[in-house]
A and B are shown apart, each in its own frame.
Chain A
Amino acid sequence: MDINSRPVVVKRMPERVNARSAREFLHDVRPFLNADRPQLVFDLSQVVQLDAAGVEMLLRCMSEAHKRDGDVKLASLSDQAAVVLELTRTERLFEIYETSTEAARSFSGFLPNAMRQQLLHNKRPSPPVAA
Chain B
Amino acid sequence: MDIRGLLLVNGETIGTPDQAPASALMGAMDVAGKSALERMAERMRQFGMASISTVVETGPSFVVRDGVVRDGHARDTNFITATPERFWRVAEAAFNEMAQGGAELVVLVRLGAYTEPDFERLVQFHLDRGARVTQMSLGAERLEIFCISASRRNDAASLFRTQLARCRSDCPLLQLDGYFNSLAGPRELRQFAIDILTRKTHTAPAGDEARPGVWIASGALVEKGARILAPAFVGAGARLRSGAVITRCSSIERHAEVDCGTIVENSTVLPFSYVGAGLDLGHSVAGMGRVANLRRDVDVAIPDPKLMDLMPATSGKRFLAAAAEMLIYLPRLVWQSAFTKAKTPEPALQATLRQVSPIAGEADDFETTPRKPEAAQEFPNMVVARRYGHQ
Binding site for B on A (CB under 8 A): 18, 49, 51-53, 79-80, 82-84, 86-89
Q: How far is the CA of A86 from the CA of B281 in the complex (A)?
A: 8
How far, in whole Å, are A51 and B296 apart by their CA atoms in the complex? 19
Q: Is B282 engaged at the interface, CB distance under 8 Å to the other chain?
A: yes
Pair A51/B291 contact, Cβ less than 8 Å = no
A51, B306: Cβ atoms under 8 Å? yes
Interface members, chain B 269-287 (any A CB < 8 Å)? 276, 278-282
Assess A83 versus B280: contact at CB under 8 Å? Given A52-B306, A52-B307, A88-B307: no
Which listed residue, A79, A82, A86, touches B282 by the CB 8 Å rule? Answer: A86
11 sample A-B contacts, Cβ–Cβ < 8 Å, listed by A number: A51-B304, A51-B306, A52-B304, A53-B304, A83-B296, A83-B300, A83-B302, A87-B302, A88-B280, A89-B278, A89-B279
Q: In the bound complex, do residue A83 and residue B291 qualify as a contact, i.e. CB atoms below 8 Å apart?
A: yes
Quick check: is B293 within 8 A (CB to CB) of the other chain?
yes
Given A88-B279, A89-B278, is A83 in contact with B298 using a C-beta cutoff of 8 Å? Answer: yes
Contact of B296 with A49 in the complex, beta carbons under 8 Å: no
Q: Separation in Å of the B289 CB from the closest CB of chain A?
A: 12
> Within the assembled complex, what's the spacing in Å between the Cα atoms of A74 and B79?
52
The B325-382 residues at the A interface (CB cut-off 8 A) are: none
Minimal beta-carbon separation of B299 from chain A (angstroms): 9
A18, A79, A89: the one contacting B296 at CB < 8 Å is: A79
Residue of A nearest to B290 (CB): A83
Write out the residue numbers on chain A whose beta carbons fall within 8 Å of the beta carbon of B59. none
B304 to chain A, nearest CB (A): 4
The 4 closest A-B pairs by CB, nearest first: A51-B304, A79-B298, A52-B306, A80-B300
**Is the pair A51, B293 in contact by a Cβ cutoff of 8 Å?**
no
How close is B154's CB to chain A, nearest CB, in angstroms?
Answer: 50
Interchain CA distance A79-B299 in the complex, whole Å: 8
A49 and B304 CA atoms in complex are apart in Å by 9
A90 to chain B, nearest CB (A): 10
Cβ distance B120 to chain A, nearest Cβ, rounded Å: 46
Q: How far is the CA of A86 from the CA of B280 in the complex (A)?
A: 7
Interface flag for B173 (CB, 8 Å): no
Q: Does B303 contact A (CB under 8 A)?
A: yes
In the complex, how many angstroms separate the beta carbon of B259 from the nearest chain A beta carbon?
13
Whether the Cβ atoms of A87 and B296 lie closer than 8 Å is no
A86→B293 contact, CB < 8 A: yes
Which of B276, B293, B303, B306 lies in contact with A83, CB distance below 8 A?
B293
Cα–Cα, bound, A84→B286 (Å): 12
Chain A-chain B contacts (Cβ-Cβ < 8 Å), number: 47
**What is the minimal beta-carbon distance from A53 to any residue of chain B, in angstroms?**
8
- Which residue, B293, B300, B301, B303, has most C-beta atoms of chain A within 10 A? B300
Q: A89-B278, A89-B280 are in contact. Are A84 and B296 (CB under 8 A)?
A: no
| Interchain nearest-CB distance for A74 vs B (Å) | 16
A83 and B292 CA atoms in complex are apart in Å by 9
Q: Chain A residues with Cβ under 8 A from B301's Cβ? A: 49, 80
User: Chain B CB within 10 Å — which of A18, A53, A84 has the most?
Assistant: A84
Q: What B residues does A86 contact at CB under 8 A?
A: 280, 282, 293
CA distance A79 to B306 in the complex (A): 20
Closest to B283 in A: A86
Cα distance A49–B21 when bound, in Å?
14
**CB-defined contacts of A79 to chain B, threshold 8 Å:** 293, 296, 298, 300
Q: With A and B bound together, what is the CA distance between A43 and B304 in angstroms? A: 21
Contacts of A51 in B (CB 8 A): 302-304, 306-307
Which of A18, A53, A87 contacts B281 (CB under 8 A)? A87
A51 to B307, CA, bound (A): 8
Closest B residue to A51 by CB, please name it: B304
Minimal beta-carbon separation of A79 from chain B (angstroms): 4
Q: Are the C-beta atoms of B280 and A87 separated by less than 8 Å? A: yes
What A residues does B307 contact at CB under 8 A? 51-52, 84, 87-88
Residues from chain A with a CB closer than 8 A to the CB of B278 are 88-89
Known: A52-B307, A89-B280. 17 other contacts (CB 8 A): A51-B304, A51-B306, A52-B304, A79-B298, A80-B301, A82-B296, A82-B298, A83-B296, A83-B300, A84-B302, A86-B282, A87-B280, A87-B281, A87-B291, A87-B307, A88-B307, A89-B279
- Give chain B residues whose Cβ lies under 8 Å from the Cβ of A18: 304
Q: Which residues of A contact B279 (CB under 8 A)?
A: 87-89
Task: List which B79-124 residues lie within 8 A (CB) of chain A.
Answer: none
A49 CB contacts on chain B under 8 angstroms: 301, 303
CB distance from A94 to the nearest CB of B (A): 15
Q: Which of chain A's residues have a CB closer than 8 A to the CB of B296?
A: 79, 82-83
Nearest-neighbour CB distance to chain B for A69, whole angstroms, equals 27
Which of A52, A79, A80, A87 has its CB near the most chain B CB atoms (within 10 A)? A87
